[in-house]
Amino acid sequence: MNSTRFLVSIAAVILIVSACGETRTSGFYAGAATTTRTDVSPMPIYTDTLSGETLPSVTDTLLNITFENVSVEPFGPGCVYPIYNGYMHIDNSMSEEPVVLLSSAGLLGDGIVQARFEIVDAPSHCVVGIVLRASSDENFLLLGVNSRGQYTVQRFLGGLWTPVMGLEPFESSRLLLFGRPGVEITAIIHGSYVDFLVNGQLVQVVRTDLPATGQVGVFVDGYANVNLDRLTVVPSE
């Protein structure tokens, strides 16, 4: 009887330990100190371009899309996500892989990039965000948030995610509310610095090794169903 109880206790301990693994979101680790990925193959990224393809030459673009007009194509004619009722409906709830939509808009110098999302349905760890400095679908900077009161600033390059400035993959902020259905993400680019604002609140000043110029876009995590309400790009005069 004692040996049976001992085996049951050991099994319970193993079960508890196995359930405490690192939480992962789109190939990067939630709150882990390491940035090493355990995947053998790179994480697929879905964009309007072929993998590794260099995007067209960047030009300063003034863009303010509210999706009231169903014929707008901020991500090119190949974008499969429908526009109706004033939103672009990005339903990625059936896939574990993220969606990255790269816009035809971009920045040659300083400027502002802003996107507003309405969360229809998504696990709390799922990230939505804006993409900066995209030279291809395998090289960009992500500024994103989840519904756990956390933000993330990471570079995606050649299938690997790397946090910048020594930040953790996910940083908590008292300025970020839990479970808020709507989120507005703003990047103010000035030189090699990016002011990262969420719902009008400055959560991080990001220093990059190069100016955050290039193509811009949006990021929607796997298992997330969101509506894109607005996309704005404003080059500085």
In this predicted model, what pLDDT tens digit does every residue of 143-197 receive, in sequence order?
999 999 999 999 999 889 998 888 999 999 988 877 678 899 999 999 999 999 9
State percent of the chain over pLDDT 90.
Answer: 54
What is the pLDDT at residue 34?
A: 29
- Would you state the structure tokens that stand for residue 160, as one six-digit string? 């690997």
Alpha carbons 157 and 162: distance in angstroms, whole number: 8
Alpha carbons 46 and 106: distance in angstroms, whole number: 19
- Would you state the structure tokens that stand for residue 108, as one six-digit string? 């040659």
- Would you state the structure tokens that stand for residue 208, as one six-digit string? 């990059």
CATH value at residue 34: 2.60.120.560
Q: How confident is the model at residue 60 (pLDDT cuts 50, 70, 90)?
A: low
- Would you state the structure tokens that stand for residue 225, as one six-digit string? 């169903």
Structural domain of residue 149, as residue ranges?
A: 2-235
Number of domains in the chain: 1
Q: Is the pLDDT of residue 8 over 80?
A: no
Q: How confident is the model at residue 208 (pLDDT cuts 50, 70, 90)?
A: confident
What is the pLDDT at residue 95?
A: 93
Q: Is the pLDDT of residue 66 over 70?
A: yes
C-alpha to C-alpha distances, 226 to 57, 66, 123, 126, nearest whole angstrom: 30, 15, 11, 11
**Could you say which DSSP state residue 44 is in?**
P
Q: Is the pLDDT of residue 212 over 70?
A: yes
